[in-house]
Amino acid sequence: MRTLFLISCMGLLHISAVALKRESAPPTAVDTSENEGQTELLVYDYIFPHEKDVLSPILYADWKSVHAEVRYNYEDLHTASVFGGCRFETGEKLVVGATPVLGIVFGNTSGLAPGLLLDLAYGKFDFYSESEYVIDYSGSENNFFYTWTELAITPLENLRTGISANRTRLYQSELDVQKGIFAQYTFQKATAGFHYFNPFTDDYYFVTSISYAF
């Protein structure tokens, strides 16, 4: 399943790259005087059947091309992580953004985590993915590939909905990648979301989210 998922992402990237060659310039770092920066606080609530909920707060900070994140309960329970990277963006009709990042993970899980944030937007459609590979200090057998991916459409100005995939250590099941559907609604600077993973199966669970940009 993981192999199929990675092949699908590579295929999407290949299609995007072909389109960019036809209608856009090479990627450049985002660095404009109009971009004064933004900070966003996002809190996920993982609601598992017959288990205790898990809150996972994430703080994002962007200034020009510089991107930083602080996470808790993301890579593992009682585990924090700090990431930094640089965003590159290209395109007009098809806008592609990529942010290579490097993180330090500490707590129940400790290690280094190279990763990539990727987003594509075309009209009302968009694709978003944040992936990382944790190199665990305790041994290579504990290394783990994490990903949160969304393919969405925005049919209304404030409503975004689509399908999602999640590979995490926070929830264990027979499925390597958890798949589901989601919807988000934005009001001014706040966004509320609801994800339903593995719908209509015994491995289902929910993720609610609330974020605020300031």
State the pLDDT at residue 18: 36
Does this model's pTM top 0.85? no
Q: Grade residue 34 by pLDDT with cuts at 50, 70 and 90.
A: low
Q: What are 177-187's pLDDT values in tens digits? A: 999 999 999 99
State the pLDDT at residue 35: 56
Q: What whole-number percentage of the chain has pLDDT above 90? A: 78
Q: Which CATH class is domain 2-213?
A: mainly beta
Mean pLDDT over 32-38 rounds to 63
Q: Which residues pair with 12 in a beta bridge?
A: none
State the pLDDT at residue 97: 97
What mean pLDDT, rounded, does the chain reach? 87
State the pLDDT at residue 22: 36
State the pLDDT at residue 110: 97
Q: What are 67-92's pLDDT values in tens digits? A: 999 999 999 999 999 999 999 999 99
State the pLDDT at residue 37: 86
Q: Which residues are CB-neighbours of 59 under 8 A, at least 6 positions away?
A: 39, 40, 41, 42, 69, 70, 71
DSSP element (H, E) containing 10: helix 2-23
Over the range 8-24, which residues count as b (16 or more CB within 10 Å of their CB) and which as e? ebeeebeebeebbeeee
Task: Residue 204: count other Cβ atoms within 10 Å of its Cβ.
Answer: 16
Q: Grade residue 107 by pLDDT with cuts at 50, 70 and 90.
A: very high
State the pLDDT at residue 173: 78
Q: Grade residue 175 by pLDDT with cuts at 50, 70 and 90.
A: confident
Q: Grade residue 171 by pLDDT with cuts at 50, 70 and 90.
A: confident
Q: What are 127-170's pLDDT values in tens digits? A: 999 999 999 999 999 999 999 999 999 999 999 999 999 999 99
The domain locations on the chain are 2-213
Would you say 88 and 30 are in contact if contact means Cβ atoms under 8 Å apart? yes
